[in-house]
């Protein structure tokens, strides 16, 4: 932004964004509109109008005005920062804008009444004293020192969020002993069960050759081994199943889909997977894996013949769809 040609409101918003970036708020994770609203939320809680210097930021904890409510924040935006929002948008301000500032320790909620209910319309927000010192120093010679102290005491929000995400990851141990972290979510919980529960029960030491991930797509792949079995190395457009595992003793390649909300092995998917494995030098076993019988029930009529179904909640059993034999290649 060219601050020489921008209006005072735009300059103030950009400066607010600079503060957020400096303390490690991961702004790139948010849309441009969300970034702007978070920046304006900081300005509103600090009672900073466009023409005011940062040194005039105010807080209830420093003898300033009472904590501001979300409705008051909206009115502040409408009056000073060109918004035209209805008071009814107050819940979005709390859940989507202020929550980021709270996690960054720039804003404290329920400042005047810590016992206020979460949905209490009078719940107020104010800047804690430590953060107030940082904000007031923006643009002057003490900024770098205040920033250092703030980061020393509070850490970097992006790092904390990353660690929280890692804590929620789904660890899965392959038969080889290798351990990977799957992204959190029910789909990957099914994949974990496939590796740790299904394969030990229904294979004789199957080796996982491919493991997908809902976030990172390819988590583990043994391309050389797949090629040796006649499975071409996947291209960007290849829709691989969630798990490929090879049982060398039985010469079976398990082709497994984890089904949470979509993509069981129906006739169309079965046809695509057969094309993928058409040059396979071993027999292929196609399996749809579900977390529960109720989830399976929603898809049961679409499951393709000559495939298998496994349910995490009933791990010792398989459901066989037709064919001249039970579990095995067709």
> Which tens digits make up the pLDDT trace of 1-14?
444 446 899 999 99
> Which tens digits make up the pLDDT trace of 273-289?
999 999 999 999 999 99
Most confident stretch, 117-121, 209-213, 310-314: 310-314
Pairing type for strands 283-290 and 252-259 reads parallel
Angle at 28 (CA atoms; ends 75, 91), nearest 5 degrees: 30
> Which tens digits make up the pLDDT trace of 255-277?
999 998 888 999 999 999 999 99
- What pLDDT is recorded for position 217? 67
Please determine whether the domains at 8-162 and 169-321 fall in the same fold group of CATH: no
Model-wide pTM > 0.85: no
User: Which one, of 46, 30, 35, 45, lies nearest residue 13 by Cα?
Assistant: 35
Sorted by where each begins, the domain ranges of the chain are 8-162, 169-321
The two tokens of residue 231 are 């499975």
Query: Has residue 324 got a pLDDT over 60?
Result: no
The two tokens of residue 4 are 């020489």
Q: Kindly report each contact of residues 178-186 with a partner whose C-beta sits within 8 Å and lies 24 or more positions away, as own/partner.
A: 178/220, 180/211, 180/219, 180/220, 182/213, 182/214, 182/219, 183/213, 183/214, 183/215, 183/216, 185/214, 185/260, 186/260, 186/291
- What pLDDT is recorded for position 214? 64
Please give the full DSSP string across 209-276, using - where no structure is assigned.
EEEEETTTEEEEE-HHHHHHTTPPPP-TT----SEEEEETTTTEEEEEEEESSS----HHHHHHHHHH
143-154 helix and 129-136 helix, angle to the nearest 10 degrees? 150
- What pLDDT is recorded for position 319? 94
Q: Which CATH class is domain 8-162?
A: mainly alpha
What CATH number was assigned to the domain covering residues 169-321? 3.40.1350.80
Angstrom distance (rounded) from CA 38 to CA 36: 6
């Amino acid at each position: 932004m060219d601050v020489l040609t921008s209006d005072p409101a735009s300059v103030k918003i950009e400066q607010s964004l600079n503060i957020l970036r400096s303390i490690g708020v991961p702004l790139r994770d948010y849309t441009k509109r969300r970034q702007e609203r978070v920046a304006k939320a900081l300005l509103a809680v600090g009672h900073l109008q466009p023409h005011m210097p940062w040194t005039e930021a105010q807080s209830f904890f420093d003898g300033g005005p009472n904590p501001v409510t979300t409705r008051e924040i909206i009115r502040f935006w409408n009056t000073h920062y060109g918004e035209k929002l209805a008071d009814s948008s107050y819940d979005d301000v709390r859940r989507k804008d202020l929550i980021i500032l709270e996690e960054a320790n720039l804003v404290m909620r329920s400042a005047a009444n810590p016992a206020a209910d979460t949905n209490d319309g009078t719940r107020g927000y104010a800047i804690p004293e430590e953060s107030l010192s940082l904000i007031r120093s923006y643009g002057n010679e003490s900024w770098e020192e205040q920033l250092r102290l703030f980061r020393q005491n509070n850490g970097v929000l992006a790092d904390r969020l990353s660690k929280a995400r890692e804590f929620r990851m789904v660890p899965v141990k392959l038969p080889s002993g290798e351990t990977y972290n799957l992204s959190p979510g029910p789909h990957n919980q099914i994949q974990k069960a496939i590796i740790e529960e299904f394969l030990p029960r229904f294979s004789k030491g199957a080796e996982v050759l491919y493991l997908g991930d809902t976030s990172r797509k390819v988590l583990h792949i043994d391309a050389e081994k797949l090629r040796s079995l006649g499975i071409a190395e996947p291209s960007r457009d290849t829709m691989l199943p969630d798990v490929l595992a090879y049982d060398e003793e039985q010469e079976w390649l398990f082709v497994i889909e984890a089904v949470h909300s979509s993509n069981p092995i129906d006739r169309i998917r079965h046809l695509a997977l057969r094309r993928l494995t058409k040059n396979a030098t071993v027999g292929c076993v196609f399996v749809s894996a579900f977390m529960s019988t109720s989830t399976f029930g929603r898809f049961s009529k679409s499951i393709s013949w000559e495939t298998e179904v496994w349910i995490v909640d009933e791990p010792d059993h398989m459901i066989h769809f037709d064919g001249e034999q039970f579990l095995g290649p067709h």
